[in-house]
């Protein structure tokens, strides 16, 4: 197996992005104003399986990765590290980060958490070392069914959100703010981190 160009730099960016992603998740949890769909599921599931939030993130990631098998998706090193790093860092950050008091600090923490989440997502995606297990599930379904990304992504997100809410996960204003803003943040962050941005520059121009 040949390594991609600039592999050490890609790996460092991947790990940095995954680490910041875990921190951003802890920020949104501490804000207590609503979580993104997958974290609603993780939060609702954690007490029922007796694991911490972060370990639940890792376990769900592993289960989702197993769903790749019938979809014939290929994991990369980024996929494996995604499962290991994000949830672990989230638990560490939750242990160090106090919950703010008052709506002002909570909204500020939520806003910074969403922005950091989008930037971190752009960083680990831009490293090009393999998608996260949840992203790979979406692309695998698209490839196997021929359905457009927007439909598959919406169905998965709504299903995950509904299950998480029924299990007791936090749904609120933060959930809505995340849904309407995260795509915009990732869209603008990704060009700064994509290692092939020079190749895409003429197309973009």
pLDDT tens, residue by residue, 137-151: 887 888 788 888 778
Going 8 to 10 to 16 to 22, the CA torsion angle's sign is negative
Contact in structure between 126 and 194 (CB atoms under 8 Å)? yes
d(CA 87, CA 161): 19
Instruction: Look at residue 140 in the predicted model and tell me its pLDDT.
Output: 81
Residue with tokens 């979580």: 35
Residue 89 belongs to a domain: yes
Say how many C-beta atoms besides its own lie within 10 A of residue 158's C-beta: 11
Instruction: Look at residue 38 in the predicted model and tell me its pLDDT.
Output: 92
Contact in structure between 33 and 106 (CB atoms under 8 Å)? yes
Instruction: Look at residue 202 in the predicted model and tell me its pLDDT.
Output: 34
Residue numbers in the chain where pLDDT is lower than 70: 1-4, 196-205
Residue 1 belongs to a domain: no
Task: Share the mean pLDDT of the chain.
Answer: 88
Residue 112 belongs to a domain: yes
Contact in structure between 137 and 37 (CB atoms under 8 Å)? no
Q: Exposed, middle or buried: residue 52 (CB in 10 Å: 0-12, 13-18, 19+)?
A: middle
d(CA 16, CA 101): 29
Backbone angles phi, psi at 176, to 5 degrees: -70, -45
pTM greater than 0.85? yes
Instruction: Look at residue 2 in the predicted model and tell me its pLDDT.
Output: 65
| Residue 47 lies in domain | 8-195
The CA-atom distances, in angstroms, between 67 and each of 36, 94, 101, 160 are: 21, 29, 40, 15
The CA-atom distances, in angstroms, between 202 and each of 188, 197, 198, 205 are: 17, 9, 8, 5
Residue-wise pLDDT tens digits, 1-33:
566 678 889 999 999 999 999 999 999 999 999
Residue 119 belongs to a domain: yes
Residue 201 belongs to a domain: no
d(CA 120, CA 61): 18
d(CA 155, CA 87): 24
Instruction: Look at residue 201 in the predicted model and tell me its pLDDT.
Output: 40
Residue 204 belongs to a domain: no
Residue 205 belongs to a domain: no
Residue with tokens 């972060």: 54
DSSP state at residue 151? H
The rounded percent of the chain whose pLDDT value lies above 90 is 59
Instruction: Look at residue 196 in the predicted model and tell me its pLDDT.
Output: 66
Domains of the chain: total: 1
Residue 2 belongs to a domain: no
């Amino acid at each position: 197996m040949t390594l991609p160009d600039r592999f050490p730099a890609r790996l460092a960016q991947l790990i940095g992005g995954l680490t910041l992603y875990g921190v951003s998740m802890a920020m949104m949890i501490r804000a207590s104003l609503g979580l993104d769909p997958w974290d609603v599921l993780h939060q609702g599931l954690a007490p029922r399986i007796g694991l911490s939030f972060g370990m639940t993130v890792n376990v769900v990631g592993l289960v989702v990765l197993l769903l790749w098998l019938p979809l014939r998706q290929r994991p990369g090193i980024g996929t494996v590290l995604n499962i290991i790093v994000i949830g672990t860092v989230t638990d560490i950050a939750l242990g160090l980060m106090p919950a703010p008091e008052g709506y002002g600090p909570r909204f500020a923490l939520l806003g910074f958490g969403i922005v950091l989440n989008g930037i971190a997502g752009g960083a680990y995606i831009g490293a090009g070392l393999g998608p996260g297990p949840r992203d790979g599930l979406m692309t695998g379904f698209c490839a196997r069914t021929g359905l457009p990304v927007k439909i598959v992504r919406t169905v998965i997100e709504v299903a995950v959100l509904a299950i998480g809410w029924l299990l007791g996960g936090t749904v609120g204003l933060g959930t809505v703010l995340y849904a309407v803003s995260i795509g915009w943040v990732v869209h603008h962050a990704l060009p700064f981190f994509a290692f092939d941005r020079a190749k895409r520059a003429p197309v973009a121009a």
